[in-house]
Amino acid sequence: MGAGASGRLRVSAAASEADLIAIAVEAARLGGGLLAARAARGVEADVASKSTPTDLVSEADLASQRAIRGLLAERRPDDGFLGEEEEEDEQGSSGLRWIVDPLDGTVNFLFGIPQWSVSVAVADASGTVAGAVYDPNREELFTATRGGRALLESADRSLVLVGRAVDPHAGQEDHEGEGAGGEGLPSAMVATGLAYDADVRAAQGEVLARLVAEVRDVRRFGSAALDLAWTAAGRYDAYYERTVKAWDIAAGQLICERAGLSVVELPEQPDLPWGILVARSGLAEALAGIVG
């Protein structure tokens, strides 16, 4: 390994999962720390719209992505990079590509709602190898590697994650996910998200109208990466959303998979784009029959 300009060590092209998750965590914490400092200073002055008036991007998003991109360029110069902002999609030569959402939950961030996160994942031709979702507001870090377990680290604890009711005999001291949920749709707490496009939202509203009569309740908090991480932690029984992009779900999907949850694709329909659903196996199938 060689030293970068700042003295930090580069990781060789033949990096292990441990090497890669360490970099993903470093990058997620870097972006999260930058965003937390900006949030503490107050309202962002530079805000623009992207696909629709409700699809916003701020200088905070851009600054976080630039910082993360700079770190990855130094540590993994031969890897590719896909970031949500500034249309960055760079192909590398190593066979690995970093997939980054530098601020997942921009609208929440801009409105001062403390429900946003940073998502950093690295993938090869077979899918995501390692991923981290960092929540600076609660100082919670969710991680997973393809060959390892899903973990939650916070200021006062470190837990192995299992989705709610995956292992009903697991001890609370070691596992997150044994909350009030039970079996079946009537007791399910379900998280979801809505598209920016008004026509798609209207179609999603029809799906929600069918769903709310069948489950315990529905939550819509506005950060897909955190919704996935929280489902892996058992705070939700299930999560589904359409119009999600690779940067929204790359890290969170792996975390859910390594927590033992099923990930089901929701195929495109005339009024609804492609999406995903995450839950334990039996519940995933039942929900897919309603929202799929």
How confident is the model over 18-77, as pLDDT tens digits? 999 999 999 999 999 999 998 888 765 555 544 455 444 578 888 999 999 999 999 999
Domain 185-291: state its class.
alpha beta
Question: Per-residue pLDDT averaged across 70-88, rounded?
Answer: 90
Query: CA–CA separation, 200 vs 242, rounded Å?
Result: 9
Which residue, chain included where needed, has tokens 């998750």?
Answer: 21
**3-state DSSP assignment of residue 190:** strand
Q: Which of 10-19, 194-203, 250-259 has the lowest mean pLDDT?
A: 10-19
The CATH homologous superfamily for domain 17-161 is: Fructose-1,6-Bisphosphatase, subunit A, domain 1 (3.30.540.10)
In the chain, where are the structural domains located? 17-161, 185-291
* Tokens linked to 187: 């007791």
> 135-174, pLDDT tens digit by residue?
999 999 999 999 999 999 998 888 898 876 443 333 434 4
The secondary structure element, H or E, covering residue 19 is helix 17-41
